[in-house]
Amino acid sequence: MSFDVHLYRKETMERQQQANDPGFFDNPENLEPFTAEQFRKLSDRLAAYKFAVVRERPEDVEYQHPKYNITVLLTKRGLYFNAGWDPDSMFEAGMTASEFTDSGEFRKYDPQNGGWEAL
């Protein structure tokens, strides 16, 4: 098992809340793409949090944290944290995703808790 949290642009949250579609996240076209600047800032911020690139492809970049059991996938439409089922890794993944919402551009979605984090 693993613990997952996602980060999307705020426009994705607004669209999902209005959609009334249980399969909303299954359609990539529903997810507002990051701008090139947002993608770069997210990548830079992951590096500042000590995440190291483990695989880079044209469509996504995968990161790993050296201390915690956390992998992160940065795509053009979402940032996906996946933590092992240990309390420290779960806490760090959740807190890091929450901290990334501080600019107001992004919103955290927690599938385990069924929704968006309130700001």
CA dihedral 6, 11, 12, 17 (to 10 degrees): 110
For the chain, give the longest Cα–Cα distance.
Answer: 39
DSSP, residue by residue, 46-82: HHHTT-EEEEE-SSEEEEE-SSSSEEEEEESS-EEEE
Is a pLDDT exceeding 70 seen at residue 17? Answer: yes
Q: pTM for the full model? A: 0.95
pLDDT of residue 37: 97
C-alpha separations of 104 from 3, 22, 55 in Å: 24, 25, 28
**81-115 confidence digits (pLDDT tens):** 999 989 999 999 999 999 999 999 999 999 988 79
Q: How many residues does the chain have?
A: 119
pLDDT of residue 51: 98
Among the listed residues 3, 1, 18, 2, the one whose alpha carbon sits nearest the alpha carbon of residue 97 = 3
Please, what is the average pLDDT of the chain? 95
Question: Could you tell me the domains of the chain?
Answer: 2-114 (3.30.310.10)
Average pLDDT rounded to a whole number, residues 32-38:
97
**47-70 confidence digits (pLDDT tens):** 999 999 999 999 999 999 999 999
- Percent of the chain residues topping a pLDDT of 70: 99
